[in-house]
């Protein structure tokens, strides 16, 4: 860890910090759940996803995942594209979940996939309308 900011080419005063590489999230664990009210033509999927990605990075850092090149989380471009399209096509209230692809440790990265679920009103039971959107689904 650098003791202070330096300019390119100057020596860096640093110290070593050793962190235990403990497990933070288990494979399949829902890391983040966000309830979203969608209105066709009014809700921006890009803004929704940007907020979710920001929340994931903040959560990862709070839980102890070490950033790699300034980033904590990793989500496939295909998964993001599929979720973006679903957000654009749907209307009503949905639940967007970020799920751990595998065990996530301090050393990171925090690999997740996103999935949408229909919100079931309280008091009603139904078969799960879950749709998983991941590369290896």
CA atoms lying within 13 Å on the CB side of residue 10: 9
Angle at 134 (CA atoms; ends 129, 137), nearest 5 degrees: 75
In a domain, 55, yes or no: yes
Q: Is residue 15 in a domain?
A: no
Q: Which domain holds residue 98?
A: 23-132
Residue 112 lies in a domain: yes
In this prediction, residue 133 carries a pLDDT of 40
Tell me whether residue 41 is in a domain: yes
d(CA 41, CA 88): 8
Mean pLDDT (whole number) for 37-52: 89
Paired tokens of 101: 């692809």
- Report yes or no on 18 lying in a domain: no
pLDDT at 86: 92
The answer to whether residue 137 is domain-embedded is no
Domain count of the fold of the chain? 1
Give the span between the Cα atoms of 116 and 95, in whole angstroms: 6
> Within a domain: residue 2?
no
- Give the pLDDT score at 82: 96
pTM, two decimal places: 0.72
């Amino acid at each position: 860890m650098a003791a202070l900011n330096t300019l390119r080419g100057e020596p860096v005063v640093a110290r070593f910090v050793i962190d235990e590489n403990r497990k933070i999230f288990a494979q399949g664990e829902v890391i983040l759940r966000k309830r979203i009210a969608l209105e066709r033509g009014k809700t921006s999927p890009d803004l929704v996803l940007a907020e979710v990605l920001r929340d994931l990075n903040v959560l990862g850092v709070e839980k102890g995942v070490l950033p790699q090149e300034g980033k904590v989380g990793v989500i496939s471009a295909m998964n993001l594209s599929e979720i973006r399209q679903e957000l654009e096509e749907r209307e009503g209230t949905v639940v967007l979940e970020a799920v751990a692809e595998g065990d996530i440790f301090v050393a990171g990265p925090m690999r997740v996939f996103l999935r949408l679920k229909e919100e079931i009103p309280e008091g009603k039971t139904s078969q799960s309308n879950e749709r998983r959107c991941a590369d290896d689904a």
